[in-house]
Structure 1
Amino acid sequence: GTTQLRRQMLLPFTVDVNIMSYETCRRLGVAIQPYYGEALAAVSGSADLKPLGTAEVEWSFCGQNKPYRSVFYVVRELEADFILGNPTIKQLELPGTDPAIAKRLLALEQQ
């Protein structure tokens, strides 16, 4: 079976890719696929992140039963467990599932 962990996921709305910490990936026991691309200029205020690879993970929000499946870049230098990129937030229509997400996204788009 698959391992389930309660982890922190950030939705900064300013990041264009999904990122997962190597430690979280290791604890989940998820296979890492090779990545040969460029470093990610993903998180403002931090150095470019060089992915170790990519991993596909099934996840859900605490208190919600609906599972999602997304591919994440796996990096060592990440303080959060997961960062969900803005394109994925919109693709999965997350603003429609949580009023707080919709409110934050709308406020950001009006700046």
Structure 2
Amino acid sequence: MVNEPTRSPLLSIVVPVHGVEAYLYQCLESILGGLPAEDADAVELVAVDDASPDRCGEMLRSYAAGRPQVRVVSLTRNVGLGLARNAGLAEATGRYVWFVDSDDW
């Protein structure tokens, strides 16, 4: 895990990630890129690297660096979409939770 939040956010967005290197950055930016600075503490993004065979894990760690609202959960083996969502849900600290697929934007 990277970057522990300083207080509980209103919304946790859980993104399970596996094999979507080509789409990942666009997905993450669509979630946080347009967020006003004053709302940054209200949202946390919990990205779950589901043992992705491409560069997704590296991309997630890089994206999380310097962004305290982004946390990365790294799984040691691929568990599939449902269990990866559950892993992210277990780490979410927001009052509400939203799930976004990693190839969505």
TM-score bracket for the superposition, by shorter chain length: under 0.3
Structure whose CA Rg is larger: 1
Q: TM-score, normalised to structure 2's length?
A: 0.26
